[in-house]
A and B are shown apart, each in its own frame.
Chain A
Amino acid sequence: QVQLQESGPGLLKPSETLSLTCTVSGVSTSTYYWNWIRQPPGKGPEWIGYIYYSVSTRYNPSLKSRVTISIDTSKNQFSLRLRSVTAADTAVYYCARAGGYNYHFDSWGPGTLVTVSS
């Protein structure tokens, strides 16, 4: 049974860098595609990007200039960094698993709310 859990600061100031970690249990992060998805309050989800092993990453073009996703398979974790945040980055951030490239998201973490406010 795969489980995912997001962790990281819940409050940031504008221009700071958002850093979140997703800890995975029940399956190795050496397999599958590992995604970050966010959902602003009252809106639909937005896909941020994925990482596959250490082989490939893919990002949403709308965020690509500010995003980095990395992975630490020894800790069974993957991480999100989003630079130069603004209030528009306030959202619940989810990590999620996909079975492959062009695949649905079959397991999600519970999500963590990140608020950007001065």
Chain B
Amino acid sequence: EIVLTQSPATLSLSPGERATLSCGASQSVPSRYLAWYQQKPGLAPRLFIYDASTRATGIPDRFSGSGSGTDFTLTISRLEPEDFAVYYCQQYGSSPYSFGQGTKLEIK
């Protein structure tokens, strides 16, 4: 099983700042099959990025994903108030599919 480790656990930033979230895998993720989801309290996770760097429908271009192998990054270029939430990475290249434990992006 591929174990995903996200860092930091909590990231405190202000609107307008740049956010960098990391996701490390215990072994290489095949074919860059890695996704990022945003989750707000009481709601289901929402797909933001798939195939490591492709934005899902309707996701603004301030969100970008990068990486391959065992190291992946979600970057938010300029934070908007609605971006503060928990973000999970997930790999779907190898069963069992697995999620990271999340990074909470909070307002500083």
Contacts and interface: CB of A to CB of B under 8 A. Distances in A.
Given A45-B99, A47-B98, A109-B44, A102 B93 contact: yes
B101 interface: yes
A43 B46 CA distance: 16
A61 interface: yes
Contacts of A43: 101
Contacts of A102: 30-31, 33, 92-93, 95
B16 interface: no
Chain A interface mostly: loop
A46 interface: yes
A26 interface: no
Interface residues of B, number: 26
A46 B99 contact: yes
Nearest to B46: A108
A43 B98 CA distance: 13
A111 B44 contact: yes
Nearest to A98: B92
B92 A103 contact: yes
A104 B90 contact: yes
A94 interface: yes
B81 interface: no
A9 interface: no
B88 A45 contact: yes
B85 to A, nearest CB: 14
List of 7 A-B pairs having minimum Cβ-Cβ separation, nearest first: A108-B44, A104-B50, A104-B35, A60-B96, A47-B97, A44-B99, A44-B101
Interface of A: 43-47, 58, 60-62, 94, 96, 98, 102-106, 108-111
Given A45-B90, A104-B50, A108-B46, 19 more contacts: A44-B99, A44-B100, A44-B101, A45-B45, A45-B88, A47-B99, A60-B96, A61-B1, A61-B96, A62-B96, A94-B44, A96-B44, A102-B30, A102-B31, A102-B92, A102-B95, A108-B45, A109-B44, A110-B43
